Chain A
Amino acid sequence: MPTVAPFDLAGHCVAAAFLDDIPHFALADGTIHRLDHGAKSVVAHDGLLCAAITWDGMALVTGGEDGKVALTRPDGGTETLAEVPRKWVTSVATGPQGAVAYASGRTAFVRFADGKVKSFDHPRSVEGVAFAPKGMRIAVARYNGATLHFPAAEGKPAELEWAGAHNGITFSPDGNFLVTTMQENALHGWKLADGKHMRMTGYPAKVKSWSWSAKGKWLATSGAPAAIVWPFSAKDGPMGKAPVELGTRGNTMVTSVACHPRDEIVAIGYADGMILAGRIADLKEVVLRRGGKSAVTSMAWDAAGIRLAFGSEEGECGVVDISA
């Protein structure tokens, strides 16, 4: 039986994450809490909007209402990497060699490990940024499509067009596909080799959480009464294929998903605070948390895939241990 160790905080949890195997909870007020032999915390921002874990899993990069991009380590040390005065930093992403991308208004920035910053202006707002899994390349989600930049080189960006407002953005772990969440209740994708489009529609709500499975064979998403899990193992990704619906419930919505680091299992968090684990192969489900006062907003597995950190809209956070 899984056991839940609750960790009640006050405020919206933007991100739950394991840094060096220590569970961290980044709250919207700017405080980053951690459970490291007792509850500890550090204030990283006045208002925290977005977060991404570094590729080595040893730090959390966050963007805030205070215009700062901060990096926080599991020892509680926090430093400001960059600042955009009087603007909100609304999206952050982490990349290779300690690079960080962030967005504010109509500009995307890439900060290299040596502190050098390169900026990319766009005609419309940068809604999301993501690094490609290989090479120094970023993708920007914008109105009517996505833009690809090579920050380490000069040259023209590559534009991918699709009408509508694109909000979130992610590369598939093999680098073959680029996927966006849209203002409409849909995902859009491009096969990067030939620019072929993928439309993933049918959601009753906006997709706000997604997670690639181990080896990138599946993309699990929120936005429906079940986790909608798209197959990406075929040459053309999910084109012409139906998604797997995992953990279907009749009366509530999936608000957060997190794929297990090794097995094809998805942790599914719901609007009523419940968390299930569902296996893609046979659709078997296990209850990890019965429910709570508010929607699950973020979840993350530890490296071993034994503990799941979760956070919610009203600050009910905690860690589920599935080994017991």
Chain B
Amino acid sequence: MAEAQTNAGNGTQIPVTVLTGYLGAGKTTLLNRILSENHGKRYAVIVNEFGEIGIDNDLIVESDEEIYEMNNGCICCTVRGDLIRTVEGLMRRPGRFDAILVETTGLADPVPVAQTFFMDDDVRAKTRLDAVVALVDAKHLPLRLKDSREAEDQIAFADVIVLNKTDLVTPEELAKVEGLIRAINPTAKIHKTSRSAVDLSAVLDRGAFDLKRALETDPHFLDADDEHDHDHHDHDHHHASDIHDVTVNSISLRAGEMDPKKFFPWIEKITQAEGPNILRLKGIIALKGDDERYVVQGVHMIIEGDHQRPWKDGEKRESRLVFIGRNLDAERLKRTFEACQA
């Protein structure tokens, strides 16, 4: 802790984008675009294999994926040891690049990658996680979901989903795939495209983990169950059960102003007890007697919160919280969340 604080003042943190997606979803195509297109930024790229990257660049580093469980008795506290080592090496020569991109293997669990940027003090002092981007193959997603939990995890965990190869499916198939994605992750931004031709500004520099920015830049955040959201009404947990291959569920909670003396112990207890089942959580909390919006986000047991900005005049002071995870007890979460109201 002390070290993180000492180092925090030294310059700005380098943003890190994590690129996930199943084999064949179009990661390499997107990576090659990021490396070759003129967007004014230089990227250091950490890949598992050089593979098909056709670009000769000193800043592409090959790294063996190493998942290390932390020795603290918490099974969900995992980090990527190779990233700690590689990021530390890269950061000794700053000025060569403006941002870091981590490409994971098709079967990779995105959680240890993300947790590395929260759990390792040295990495955290020098870098900040910008967003987790998942590439999804519109044609093959239903099949993938049948045979792999990783494909589902990648979607559940993502901030941005690039729904790729849309030219290979019919509009009906596309709508179904989008429904599937929404059932797993109601809050991610979805960009439909083919040949990974997504606007790079939709993928890079998102600030998805920045408490001040994350919930502000996305006007639809947590609006998944608003009545004006006509795109998909079959997304919430009551309906997810008819999609057989989805094991992740999301729970959107909504309540009035919270009593901070009840809310903070509650969120602490929930994340401790349910940590292994929680992939992501995000929320905007109205605290009684507080003129500022309080924002929270979490990955498994790691939770962060901060004041974001003053409530605007006429803005409804309500609390909204979304959990994405497995085996979460929606009724109990709802009941206990509502019990925290002032």
Contact = CB atoms under 8 A, between A and B. Distances in A.
Given A204-B2, A253-B6, A183 B70 contact: yes
Contacts of A87: 62
Contact of A125 (B6, B58, B66, B69): B66
- The interface centre, meaning the residue of A163, A206, A272 with most chain B CB atoms within 10 A of its CB, is A206
Contact of B68 (A12, A86, A183, A206): A183
Given A125-B81, A183-B84, A252-B6, A143 B50 contact: no
B66 A143 contact: yes
Interface in A135-184: 143, 163-165, 182-184
Interface string A74-87: 00000000000011
Given A86-B50, A205-B3, A271-B6, A127 B81 contact: yes
Contacts of A28: 89, 92-93
B92 to A, nearest CB: 4
B86 interface: yes
B143 interface: no
A170 B72 CA distance: 24
A186 B70 CA distance: 12
Contacts of B61: 65, 88
B169 to A, nearest CB: 38
A86 B62 contact: yes
A206 B93 contact: no
A225 B2 contact: yes
Interface residues of A, number: 35
A124 interface: yes
A183 B6 contact: no
Given A183-B68, A205-B2, A127 B85 contact: yes
A29 B96 CA distance: 11
A105 B3 contact: no
A127 B62 CA distance: 15
How extensive is the interface on chain B, given as a class? 20 to 34
A143 B68 CA distance: 7
A320 to B, nearest CB: 23
A205 B121 contact: yes
A106 interface: yes
Contacts of A164: 68-71
B259 interface: no
B150 interface: no
A213 interface: no
Given A47-B93, A49-B89, A106-B64, A206 B122 contact: yes
Contacts of A183: 68, 70-71, 79, 81, 84, 120
B82 interface: yes
Interface string B80-108: 01101110010011000000000000000
A124 B58 contact: no
Interface string B47-63: 00010000000100110
Contacts of B79: 183
Contacts of B66: 124-125, 143
A182 B64 contact: no
Contacts of B2: 204-205, 225, 253
A8 interface: no
17 contacts: A11-B92, A29-B93, A47-B93, A65-B89, A86-B62, A87-B62, A165-B71, A183-B120, A184-B71, A184-B72, A204-B1, A204-B2, A225-B2, A252-B6, A253-B6, A271-B6, A272-B6
